[in-house]
Structures are given as C-alpha cells and as structure tokens.
C-alpha cells in the first residue's frame, strides 16, 4: 500500500476518533442526566414526576427506533443550524450526538436502577438531599455499570460514524465507501475494516478494565 | 383474657410506668400521638391500614424493643420516627419536635439527629469502611479534617479500627454491621433506630452486636429503638417493650412486667419462643386423662418474677410432706425476672392434689393439671 493511502487511512482514523470522541462526550453530557432522571422519576421515586418520565420515555424510544441513516438525513436543517454546514466531520457530530444521547440515557437508567434501593433509603435516613443521593450514592455505586454502558455507546458510535461517511461525513466509513467500494480497492476496504475492528477491541478492553477496577462489589483477594 | 391473669399477681416487680404512660410522658424522646398510617390502593392492590391508634412514648435514654410478626407494622412505625414516612393522622414528636410536620431542608436537618441501622447493613460497596462512615458527615457538610478525626474515633468505638481501608465485600456480616452502627452514630444522634439489625447475623455475632448497642446506650446515652421479630433480641437488650400486632400496640411497658404477665396471645407466643410450652416427647406420650393406682398427677406451673421458684420444689415437698418429682423444667431470665415453667409429678389421691393446687395458688404460682402418668 502506498504511503499516500496509508496517510489517508491515518487521516480518516483521526476524523473518526474526533467524531466519536466529541459525540460520546456530548452524548454523555446529555444522556447521563437524562438517564439518571429516567431512573429516579417514576411514582414515589427521588424526583417523582411520572408524567414527565412518560413523555421523555416516549421521546427516547422514538429517537432510538429511527434508523440512524434516516435520522442523519432528516435532521440536516438542524445540523446546518448548529454546525453551519451539513457536510464533514464536525457536522456529523450533530446526528451522532442526537442518536447516542437516548441510547446512553437508557443504558444509564438501567445501570442506576441496579443500585440497591436500600441505599437510597439509607442516605435519606441521614438527611441527604436528592442531589446528594445522586452524586454520592447512585453514580458512585453504579459506576462499573456506567463505564460498561459508555463502552457500549462508544462502540456503537464507531459503527454510526462509519455510516455518516455515506453522506459525506468523512472518517473511516467515508474512506471505505469512496476508495474501497467506488474505486474498487478491496485492500482499502480491508484496511478500513481492520482499523475499525482494532478500535472496537481497544475501546472494549479499556472499558472492561476500567469497570473491573472500580468494581468493589466482588473483590477477590 | 387468659387463665393466668387472675392468678398470677406474681413476685414483686418494679412499678409499672414507662412506655405505657403514653403521649403525656414529659421525658419522652419519641412520642406517638394518635398515629395511623394508611397506604392507599395502588394498581389494583387494595389499600392497607398499616398502623392504627398508636399512642405511646419512648423514654429518653431507654432501649425500647418494638416486637411483632412480619406485617405487624414495625417497619412503618420506625420510619415515622425519622420521617422517611409520614403518618396519615397524628404526630410523631422526636426530642420535642414534630417530625411529621417537617419537610425538605428542615426534615433533613432533623434527620441528622436520628441514626438508623439496617438488616442488610446498606453499606456503599464503592466506599471503604472509613468512607462509608464519613458519608453522613460529608452530607452534613463537615470539614475534611474533622471528618477524618471523627471517623477514626467511631471505628475505634465499634471495635474495627484495623478495617479503616477495607471495602464492605472484604468484611464479615458482624463487621459490616459495626460499620453501619458507626455510620449511624457519626453525626452524634440522640436516637438510634435499629431495623432488624441482627436478623441477618448468626447467634454469636448477634450477641456481640447487641452488647455493642448496650455499651453505646450506656456510654453515649443514645436512646435506642429496636425493631425486631426475635424475642431473643428483646430479651437480651431491651428494658422497655412495645408489642405490635396487625398495626396496633397490644401491650407495652417494662420488659419484665410484660413478659412475666403476658396478656395478649401474641405476647404469649413470643414468650413461648423463649421458655417453650411443649413437654418433652417421652413425657407427653405417657400422659393419660384418668388416674391410675400408684401413679402421679402431672401439674404444670408458671414461674414469674425475680428469684421465683428458687426453693419452690423443696418448700412444696417439705410443707406438704410429699415426694414431688420434677418431670420437666425451663426457666429463663427476661429483664432480670425469672420466667419459665415447671412440670411436677404429684403422687397421691385427688385430695392431695387439690391441696397442692391450693398451695400453689396461695403462693401465686399459676398452675394447671395436665393429666396423669402411671
């Protein structure tokens, strides 16, 4: 493979990491509070608001059931509004964030609901406010689950980021389609797939390692 | 209501007062006044009257046991004390403050003076023993250095100073509950609520934890409220007892009074757990309804009160000139009072037996004839 092509792969990998990284960050920034709220706002819970909970749940489900490629196209006006353009890696961050937020929220909700309800009662019994319970009890206790959820979200985002290549989003997917598919360069397609597999492996291993490290529940010694 | 009541005036015991003196008790740490708690119908499940007509006081500095079967309303009752639940009617006054009227920040401030320990310990798995104990102090906004000093003090108090950096998963059940106790005491509460705190522990560990609670009560003067379904816990630790059944207080008072003269069937069944009311199988199988020549009448008598029954068999034998045989006996101590039963074999005619029963009645030992053995 020529140095120019290798250079292209490196360039595309950086673009992909940029899109995924920023989208994961933003997705977490929106998805974490949303997920915590979904996990604590049913009837009788910490931030009880059953109606808001229902409405948010429906919105989350609706976003998650829209195929990603449709979502990308459907929100182009919104993307233009935010990013100034609908083409390129920065523009792709908008649909990636919108797709990952409800996904992360549901994963966060599941992880928070895993925390023993007795701990919430315990913290309440010594006068913790709802926000103190979230930050001092729920999030620390759910941390292993949250890290695994985030890992899953980043892996999914890598897949999505390849998809935005189809609509000119740049990155590894873009490279694979333009060179591997449209120019009949199977070695380029292979290279893109190999890089993606390596990235997913890396992310998954890192996530597993971190989740294990913070998990004090089952400590073998 | 029961057979003993009229007969069993018993041995001298402390004058009744305390818990039963209800909502007017001046030196009460906790007062329940006209409390009821109803859980409304929800999702097809009918509503539940968890508590009704609750009026009693828990004396300052006491160790008060609240005993009842599961579903009797114990958990609801204890959660009214620290405001985790609100009564449907009535007031709960804790240390002079109507906690059931407090909400938000006022309630959270009041909760800092009420500690609570739990059956399943409820420690944060992500925090070490020391950091678990620090949690209520962090929540109360203590300075880091103060927290550090206080946590060391508490770890020493509960006897696990060497477990400072251990995570809950590395601790035994007893050690976890010690952390729970230290955490509950962190903010120097005046009341400590224990919700079945020893129910998940083995008997030996239970004893150690109960001893620790007794020490804490003695040395810190903390009022302790024990929720339990285990008679052994009340017997070992409590001085006052409240017996709950189906959401109502059926008896309350000094442990010694209540269990030397149990009136309600529930109280009697709890007592039976300690002293047993069944005869040895070999004896029970030999008892018949009719007397036989040369046989004995089987008489069971209740022993209640301090030193009661110490010399009973000897006196009975001496004063009536009888060869009394001891067929079975079980005597235990509750609140410094003896409670138990003796099963005696009395030889001789009906006439003799009537004299024995009269003697026992005169000395205030409730007794019944179970039958005869050959």
**A128–chain B Cβ distance below 8 A for any pair:** yes
Report the predicted TM-score, pTM, of the whole model to 2 decimal places.
Answer: 0.84
**B84–chain A Cβ distance below 8 A for any pair:** yes
The residue of chain B with its CA nearest to that of A43 is: B42
The reply to whether residue A132 touches residue B139, judged by beta carbons under 8 angstroms, is: yes
Residues in B closer than 8 angstroms to A221, CB to CB, are 170
Instruction: Name the range with the highest mean pLDDT among A13-17, A81-85, B254-258.
Output: A13-17
The residue of chain B with its CA nearest to that of A117 is: B122
**A220–chain B Cβ distance below 8 A for any pair:** no
Residue of B122, B137, B185 best to disrupt the A interface, most CBs of A under 10 A = B122
Q: How far apart are CA B244 and CA B241, in angstroms?
A: 10
**A212–chain B Cβ distance below 8 A for any pair:** no
- Mean pLDDT throughout A57-71? 92
The reply to whether residue B110 touches residue A127, judged by beta carbons under 8 angstroms, is: yes
* pLDDT tens, residue by residue, A132-188: 999 999 999 999 999 999 999 999 999 898 888 777 788 888 888 888 888 888 888
The answer to whether the beta carbons of residues A28 and A96 sit under 8 Å apart is no
> Does B305 or A50 have the greater pLDDT score?
A50
CB pairs under 8 A between A and B: 75
Residues in B closer than 8 angstroms to A138, CB to CB, are none
Question: Which residues 133-162 of A are in CB contact (within 8 Å) with B?
Answer: 136-137, 140-141, 143
Residues in A closer than 8 angstroms to B43, CB to CB, are none
Residues in B closer than 8 angstroms to A141, CB to CB, are 124-126
Report whether pLDDT(B15) > 50: no
Q: Which residue in the block uniquely carries the two structure tokens 């490290």? A: A213
DSSP character for B104? H
Pairing of strands B114-118, B325-334: unpaired
Looking at residue B365, what is its pLDDT? Answer: 83
The answer to whether the beta carbons of residues B4 and B366 sit under 8 Å apart is yes
The answer to whether the beta carbons of residues B345 and B335 sit under 8 Å apart is no
The residue of chain B with its CA nearest to that of A214 is: B126
> Under 8 Å CB-to-CB from B3, ≥6 apart: which residues?
B366, B368
Residues in A closer than 8 angstroms to B109, CB to CB, are 127
**B94–chain A Cβ distance below 8 A for any pair:** no
User: Phi and psi of A173, rounded to 5°?
Assistant: -65, -45
The reply to whether residue A119 touches residue B124, judged by beta carbons under 8 angstroms, is: yes
The CA distance from A138 to the nearest CA of chain B, in Å, is 10
> Does B362 or A106 have the greater pLDDT score?
A106
Q: Distance from first CA to last CA of chain A, Å, rounded?
A: 49
The answer to whether the beta carbons of residues A98 and A63 sit under 8 Å apart is yes
Looking at residue A44, what is its pLDDT? Answer: 86
The answer to whether the beta carbons of residues B107 and B284 sit under 8 Å apart is no
**B122–chain A Cβ distance below 8 A for any pair:** yes
CA nearest to B313, candidates B326, B300, B331: B326
The reply to whether residue A123 touches residue B126, judged by beta carbons under 8 angstroms, is: no
The CA distance from B82 to the nearest CA of chain A, in Å, is 7
Question: Which residues 192-231 of B are in CB contact (within 8 Å) with A?
Answer: 193
**B39–chain A Cβ distance below 8 A for any pair:** no
Residues in B closer than 8 angstroms to A115, CB to CB, are none
Angle at B295 between CA B291 and CA B300, to 5 degrees: 80
Q: How far apart are CA A165 and CA B291, in angstroms?
A: 102
The reply to whether residue B115 touches residue A121, judged by beta carbons under 8 angstroms, is: no
Residues in A closer than 8 angstroms to B140, CB to CB, are 126-127
- Mean pLDDT throughout B44-61? 89
The reply to whether residue A124 touches residue B187, judged by beta carbons under 8 angstroms, is: no
Can you list the positions of beta strands (E) in chain B? 28-39, 48-59, 63-67, 89-94, 97-98, 114-118, 191-195, 223-228, 240-245, 248-254, 296-305, 325-334, 337-347, 367-373
Residues in A closer than 8 angstroms to B137, CB to CB, are none
Q: How far apart are CA B347 and CA B342, in angstroms?
A: 16
**A122–chain B Cβ distance below 8 A for any pair:** yes
What percentage of chain A carries pLDDT values higher than 90? 68
Q: Is B56 helix (H, G, I), strand (E, B) or coil?
A: strand
Q: Is the ipTM of this complex over 0.90?
A: no
The residue of chain B with its CA nearest to that of A130 is: B104
* pLDDT tens, residue by residue, B195-221: 999 999 999 999 999 999 999 999 999
The residue of chain A with its CA nearest to that of B135 is: A136
Report whether pLDDT(B308) > 70: no
The reply to whether residue B124 touches residue A141, judged by beta carbons under 8 angstroms, is: yes
For residue B302, the cross-strand partners are: B341
The reply to whether residue A221 touches residue B140, judged by beta carbons under 8 angstroms, is: no
As a whole number of Å, the CA-based R_g of chain B is 25
Residues in A closer than 8 angstroms to B131, CB to CB, are none
- Region of residue A170 (phi > 0: left; psi between -120 and 50: alpha; otherwise: beta): left
* pLDDT tens, residue by residue, B75-102: 999 999 999 999 999 999 999 999 999 9
Looking at residue A19, what is its pLDDT? Answer: 93
- Picking from A123, A125, A219, the nearest residue to B170 by CB comes out as A219
User: If pLDDT is split at 50, 70 and 90, which confidence band does B374 have?
Assistant: confident
> Does B261 or B81 have the greater pLDDT score?
B81
* pLDDT tens, residue by residue, B131-141: 999 999 999 99
> Does B66 or B296 have the greater pLDDT score?
B66
Looking at residue A86, what is its pLDDT? Answer: 83
């Amino acid at each position: 493979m020529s140095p120019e092509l290798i250079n292209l792969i490196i360039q595309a990998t950086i673009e992909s990491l940029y899109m995924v990284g920023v989208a994961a960050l933003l997705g977490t920034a929106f998805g974490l509070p949303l997920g915590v709220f979904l996990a604590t706002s049913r009837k009788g819970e910490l931030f009880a608001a059953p109606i808001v909970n229902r409405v948010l749940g429906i919105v989350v489900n609706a976003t998650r059931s829209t195929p990603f490629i449709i979502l990308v196209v459907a929100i182009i006006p919104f993307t233009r509004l935010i990013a100034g353009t609908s083409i390129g890696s920065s523009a792709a961050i908008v649909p990636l964030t919108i797709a990952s937020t409800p996904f992360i929220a549901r994963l966060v909700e599941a992880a928070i609901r895993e925390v023993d309800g007795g701990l919430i009662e315990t913290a309440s019994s010594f006068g913790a406010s709802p926000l103190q319970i979230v930050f001092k009890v729920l999030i620390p206790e759910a941390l292993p689950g949250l890290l695994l959820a985030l890992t899953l979200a980043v892996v999914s985002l890598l897949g999505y980021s390849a998809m935005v290549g189809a609509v000119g989003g740049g990155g590894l997917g873009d490279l694979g389609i333009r060179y591997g598919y449209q120019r009949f360069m199977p070695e380029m397609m292979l290279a893109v797939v190999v890089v993606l597999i390596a990235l997913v492996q890396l992310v998954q291993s890192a996530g597993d390692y971190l989740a294990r490290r913070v998990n004090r529940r089952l400590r073998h010694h | 209501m029961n057979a003993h009541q009229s007969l069993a005036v018993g041995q001298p015991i402390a004058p009744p007062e305390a818990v039963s003196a209800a909502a007017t008790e001046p030196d009460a740490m906790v007062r329940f006044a006209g409390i009821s708690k109803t859980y409304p119908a929800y999702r097809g499940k009918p509503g539940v009257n968890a508590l009704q007509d609750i009026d009693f006081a828990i004396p300052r500095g006491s160790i008060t046991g609240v005993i009842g079967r599961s579903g009797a309303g114990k958990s609801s009752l204890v959660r009214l004390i620290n405001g985790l639940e609100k009564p449907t009617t009535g007031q709960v006054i804790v240390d002079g403050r109507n906690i059931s009227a407090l909400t938000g920040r006022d309630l959270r401030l009041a909760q800092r003076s009420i500690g609570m320990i739990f059956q399943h310990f409820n420690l944060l798995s992500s925090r070490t023993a020391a950091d678990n104990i620090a949690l209520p102090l962090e929540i109360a906004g203590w300075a880091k250095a103060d927290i550090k000093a206080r946590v060391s003090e508490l770890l020493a108090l509960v006897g696990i100073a060497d477990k400072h950096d251990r995570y809950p998963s590395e601790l035994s059940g007893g050690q976890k509950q010690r952390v729970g106790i230290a955490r509950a005491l962190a903010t120097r509460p005046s009341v400590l609520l224990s919700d079945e705190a020893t129910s998940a522990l083995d008997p030996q560990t239970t004893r150690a934890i109960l001893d620790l609670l007794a020490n804490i009560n003695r040395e810190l003067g903390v009022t302790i409220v024990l929720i339990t379904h285990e008679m052994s816990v009340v017997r070992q630790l409590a001085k006052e007892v409240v017996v709950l059944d189906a959401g109502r207080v059926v008896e309350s008072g000094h442990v010694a009074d209540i269990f030397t003269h149990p009136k309600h069937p529930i109280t009697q069944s709890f007592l039976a757990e300690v002293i047993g009311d069944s005869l040895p199988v070999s004896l029970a199988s030999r008892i018949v309804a009719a007397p036989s020549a040369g046989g004995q009448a089987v008489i069971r008598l209740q022993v209640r009160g301090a030193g009661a029954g110490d010399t009973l068999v000897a006196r009975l034998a001496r004063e009536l000139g009888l060869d009394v045989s001891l067929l079975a006996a079980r005597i235990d101590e509750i609140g410094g009072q003896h409670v138990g039963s003796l099963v005696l074999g009395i030889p001789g005619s009906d006439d003799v037996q009537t004299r024995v029963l009269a003697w026992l009645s005169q000395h205030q030992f409730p007794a019944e004839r179970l039958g005869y053995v050959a």
